[in-house]
Amino acid sequence: MTTFTTQVAIVGAGIQGCAAARELALRGVDVLVLDSEYAGRHASGVNAGGVRTLGRHIAELPLALASKRLWTRIGELVDDDCGYRQSGQLKIATSAGTFEALRVRSDRIAESGLPHVERLLTPLEVRDLVPAFVGPITGAAYVVDDGSALPFRTTQAFRRKAESLGARFVEGASVHSASRVGGEWRLLTKNGHEIHANQVINCAGAWAASVGSMFGDKLPIQPNGSMQIVTTRLAPFLSPVVSVFGQALSIKQFDNGTVVIGGGHRSPVDLCTARAELTLSGLAQAARQASKFFPILMQATIARCWSGIEGFTPDGLPLIGVGSAPSVVHAAGFSAHGFQLGPAVGVVLADLVTTGNASIQISGLDPRRFRELSSESS
Ligand SMILES: Cc1cc2nc3c(=O)[nH]c(=O)nc-3n(C[C@H](O)[C@H](O)[C@H](O)COP(=O)(O)OP(=O)(O)OC[C@H]3O[C@@H](n4cnc5c(N)ncnc54)[C@H](O)[C@@H]3O)c2cc1C
């Protein structure tokens, strides 16, 4: 057993915890990151790597746009390019109704005044951009400078950079209780460590509700598995990341020719064992759907598939903000789209801890939008 004393303890070494650690260490704050397993073991290391502003809810667009600006400097931020590339992201409409929905959204973004453009493409432009797509096309929304990155490499890069700036990481340390003693937090881990911290950030991903309850907060987070398929290599046929409006489908081809198919096929999870199941019917559905729109995929076989554990909120938006107890901040419930947000979430968490105010607009993400946080009030 070891006793650690720190200014800020972060529970969870996913992309959010590692990005916050880097930003805090950069600001000269003493920070200790704890993880039950190891950095990037869960959603942050196994996601599809989509770096997307396309289709984001207006409430999280300011955060996503701030993050995009950071992604374009990723090499400078973490000394690694993280496999980041701006290949564009495209959402294809296959009916008049879905194209109308893309048009309404595009107008709404323009009215919001946010510096973001989802360009509407004609069917001909879509065919030029994605010649391998088969099916009706009524148009698409396109963000030319969206793209993708390598998730595990990115999370590790944030962790390494944070460490190089003085942050400490303790892996294999599952926090199981928190108590307030003499104006500071005392955290205990299952393997017997004791941590004394002035402030705590809850970045525990799908486990954030149970960590939140240690601080008396009831976070509405539902864990779920999200399944992905990777195929064997094919000759290059797809440059942008493509999704289809109204379908649980996202598809991208890497430079090595492999294709990642995902987009929302869920599977059961067990938080106690930290395991997600694969459901063959869901995988078959994803493969069928992908090869319906991209018949070229019939030439490939499935190389591997997996399911990653993620925390979902009732409205699909993250919970970022202070808790009801003193000196506690939560950042969780990223609902399968938190990887892109990571760099900016790091900044916001460091802001909340050091100044109490976020430098990026996050008012629509306040955990209190659902109810009073404290478990005693519900
Ligand atoms: C399959 C899949 C595909 C996805 N695709 C995309 C995508 O293309 N683009 C995108 O933007 N997002 C995507 N996402 C979502 C994205 O991966 C997540 O939103 C993001 O990684 C969440 O990061 P996090 O740091 O909050 O959580 P996590 O990465 O889950 O990290 C939480 C960490 O907390 C630790 N922990 C939990 N409880 C405790 C405890 N009690 N004590 C200590 N440590 C604890 C865990 O071990 C874990 O390492 C995808 C998610 C999945 C699962």
Domain ranges of the chain: 3-49+152-221+315-377, 86-146+223-312
CATH class given for the domain over 3-49+152-221+315-377: alpha beta
Q: Tell me the C-alpha distance between 44 and 342, whole Å.
A: 9
Give the residue-averaged pLDDT of 310-332.
97
Give the residue-averaged pLDDT of 103-108.
95
Per-residue confidence (pLDDT) for residue 372, from 0 to 100: 65
Share of the chain above pLDDT 90, in %: 96
**Fold category of 86-146+223-312 in CATH:** D-Amino Acid Oxidase; Chain A, domain 2 (3.30.9)
Please name the residues in contact with 285: beta carbons below 8 A apart, sequence gap of 6 or more.
265
Q: Whose CA is nearest to atom 18 of ligand 1?
A: 338
Identify the residue whose tokens are 């667009």: 61
Does residue 377 have a pLDDT over 50? no
Q: Tell me the C-alpha distance between 65 and 67, whole Å.
A: 5
Per-residue confidence (pLDDT) for residue 378, from 0 to 100: 38
Per-residue confidence (pLDDT) for residue 263, from 0 to 100: 85
Identify the residue whose tokens are 């959603």: 43
Give the residue-averaged pLDDT of 260-273.
93
The confidence band for 332, taking pLDDT boundaries of 50, 70 and 90, is: very high
With beta carbons less than 8 A apart as the criterion, state whether 261 and 316 touch. no
Among residues 203, 189, 178, 214, which one has the least CA distance to residue 24? 203
Does 3-49+152-221+315-377 match 86-146+223-312 in CATH topology?
no
- Residue 43 Cα to ligand 1 midpoint, Å, equals 3
Q: Tell me the C-alpha distance between 52 and 48, whole Å.
A: 11
Per-residue confidence (pLDDT) for residue 1, from 0 to 100: 81
The predicted-structure confidence for 122-166, as pLDDT tens digits, reads as follows 999 999 999 999 999 999 999 999 999 999 999 999 999 999 999
Atom nearest to 205 CA in ligand 1: 27
Atom nearest to 173 CA in ligand 1: 43
Burial (0-12, 13-18, 19+ Cβ within 10 Å), 170: middle
Q: Whose CA is nearest to atom 52 of ligand 1?
A: 47
Look at the pTM and tell me if it is higher than 0.85: yes
Q: Whose CA is nearest to atom 26 of ligand 1?
A: 205
Does residue 371 have a pLDDT over 90? no
Per-residue confidence (pLDDT) for residue 264, from 0 to 100: 82
Atom nearest to 12 CA in ligand 1: 34
- Residue 234 Cα to ligand 1 midpoint, Å, equals 29
Atom nearest to 227 CA in ligand 1: 1
What does pLDDT average to over the chain? 96
Give the residue-averaged pLDDT of 40-68.
97
- Residue 214 Cα to ligand 1 midpoint, Å, equals 20
- Residue 122 Cα to ligand 1 midpoint, Å, equals 36
Per-residue confidence (pLDDT) for residue 374, from 0 to 100: 65
Instruction: Select from 42, 169, 176, 254 the residue to mutate for testing ligand 1; criterion: most ligand atoms less than 8 Å from CB.
Output: 42
Identify the residue whose tokens are 């493969």: 287
Does residue 325 have a pLDDT over 70? yes
* 267 secondary structure, DSSP code: E
Pocket of ligand 1 (CB under 6 A): 11-17, 34-37, 41-44, 46-50, 174-175, 203-207, 211, 226, 228, 262, 308, 310, 332, 334, 336-340
Sign of the torsion angle spanned by Cα atoms 230, 222, 193, 195:
positive
The predicted-structure confidence for 184-207, as pLDDT tens digits, reads as follows 999 999 999 999 999 999 999 999
Atom nearest to 18 CA in ligand 1: 25
